[in-house]
Structure 1
């Protein structure tokens, strides 16, 4: 079970302030210091540094934070599994990035949930960075992300590989012949916000050619994929979006794909969870079940409840 000193330590990791933690936990600041001192004695290492009036985690503190985050998360799941033995529904905190949520996993997830009435699911759609933070907080159990993550902190399983494609308005000269990335720098680029997986993959592909978003003639940041598609369809710039997000629009003639001279920009969409979780096999089973549901959806089989 979670020790009260563990709770104090993890809260200080979040606030980086003994004063704020004392206020949040309704204890005194000396009590916070005492809890941290006890843990430092128990582990034989300093957990926080205080320099220039700022508190920061030491390397030892980071190791302990990551380990305890997994333990706290798994303890919650254990309690829920025990409760489910008496008929209570099990809960699942499931995160998805915007593109993955709307265009990749929604249909398979619906099919999966129809088959699992024993689950109480909370689905959160957000950027990759936000989802990673929620995994560490314990508010999510697993997440499907399209962005980059530290493989030293998370275990995971690739769900699918998606291609990032360039699109423009129908009838644009840009779609008449293959273009290099350099050819497109003179265009107005409509791009997702900083922190989104789609943007990170684009920036990575540009950096591989010593290019950057700053090289485009103009950029407009938009947080909504659908708004980006509407702007581009009406001639307001070009965009790089995952093929799954624009497939129907291109088939309907609402958008037009710009053929690139370079090899395709592809990236894995990956299910991840905290490294070292006791429930790894369960999460891998979830990925397998969702993959089966995705295959069934593509084949057009009717979902069963």
Structure 2
């Protein structure tokens, strides 16, 4: 059973008030204060800075918070796993990046669950940095990301490869071109993913490899919404750099035009990423097999 002091500690951080935390947990304020003092005595640290106005974690308090979240995650996962075992079910929390989550993965997971009636999946979409954090805190069992593995804490299985290309409106003057040079796009209005997105990182790395810079281009809008980017490009409000797979359907229906960039090396991998202690690698291999059937 999870330590009640940990529950009180995390609730206090969430509520930012001893009074509100006590109300939420149906405890008295002195009881919450006593539990925090017990944690401080056990670990020989100060958890919060002394401040009458706000609760600010000390560096040691931040470490405790990180591991407290991990403890809660493991506890909740254990509870769910035992419940699933009673019902002969296997449940997985899968984290995915926006591009993969919107265009590659839903069909794959639906097909896999149809073939395996004992599997239940909870799919969460987040940025690549947050996904690695969820894996570290055991808040996700494994991840499907559009990008390469960047940490030696995990293993990966290559699911597919894709490439980044220019996307424009069919009404754009470049729409009839079979390819384009980046130097021809200096005056275009770009609508791009945010700086934290894997697509943006690959694009900027490519520019640097060509002794170019993102600063040489006009960025009109930055957003994490792929739908917003495509909608604006379809309306001929600007151009973008995007995964080719993410635009296939729109191109087939004549809503967008994709154009390869000359001398581009913007190859993008789609990977299954999992912690080294993950116990169900067979599931990942089955997912890869299912993906191959669909493509």
Other-structure match for 1:303: none
Aligned CA-pair RMSD: 3.8
Secondary structure of 1:48's aligned partner: coil
Query: Equivalents in 2 of 1:14, 1:151: separation in Å?
Result: 29
* CA pair 28-76 structure 1, distance change in 2 beyond 3 A: same
Match of 2:22 in 1: 22
Task: Tell me the residue number matched to 1:289.
Answer: 286
Specify the SS of the correspondent of 1:281.
coil
Residue by residue, what CA displacement relative to the aligned partner does 1:40-97 show, whole Å, maximum 9, x if unpaired? 2222233333469554434433333333333322222322332334326444333333
Q: 1:63 to 1:126 in 2, by over 3 A?
A: closer
Counterpart position of 1:229? 230
TM-score (norm 1): 0.74
Asked if 1:81 corresponds to 2:78, the answer is: no
Moved more, 143-152 or 222-231: 143-152
Matched-pair contact (CA < 8 Å) for 1:188–1:218:
yes
Name the CA distance, whole Å, in 1 between partners of 2:186 and 2:55.
43
Q: CA 1:259/1:50 → structure 2, altered by over 3 Å: closer, same or farther?
A: farther
Kept in 2, the 8 Å contact 1:108–1:291? The answer is no
Whole-Å Cα distance in 1 between the matches of residues 70 and 271 of structure 2? 19
Judging changes above 3 Å, is the alpha-carbon distance between structure 1 residues 36 and 109 closer, same or farther for their aligned structure 2 residues? same
Which residue is 1:220 aligned to? Answer: 221
Q: Is the CA contact (8 Å cut-off) linking 2:46 and 2:58 kept in structure 1?
A: yes
Q: Choose from 201, 211, 214 the match for 2:213.
A: 211
TM alignment of 1:11-160, pairs within 5 A:
11-50=11-50, 53-87=53-87, 89-128=89-128, 140-146=140-146, 151=151, 155=154, 157-160=156-159
- When residues 120 and 259 of structure 1 are mapped into structure 2, their CA distance, relative to the original with a 3 A threshold, is closer
TM-score normalized with structure 2 length: 0.76
The equivalent residue for 1:190 is 191
Counterparts in 2 of 1:24 and 1:128: CA distance versus 1, 3 Å: farther
Please tell me whether the aligned partners of residues 181 and 262 of structure 2 are also in contact (alpha carbons under 8 angstroms): yes
Between the aligned partners of 1:200 and 1:82, the Cα distance in structure 2 is: 41
User: Do the aligned partners of residues 177 and 193 (structure 1) sit closer, same or farther apart at CA in structure 2, a change above 3 Å counting?
Assistant: closer
Residues 226/70 of structure 1: CA separation in 2 closer, same or farther (3 Å cut): same
Give the direction of change, closer, same or farther, for the CA distance of 1:50–1:99 in structure 2 (3 Å limit): farther
**Separation (CA, whole Å) in 1 of partners of 2:58 and 2:44:** 13
Match of 1:179 in 2: 181
What is the distance in 2 between the residues matched to 1:73 and 1:267?
31
Equivalent pairs, count: 291
2:260 aligns with 259
* 1:5 Cα offset (Å): 0.6
Equivalent position SS for 1:57:
coil
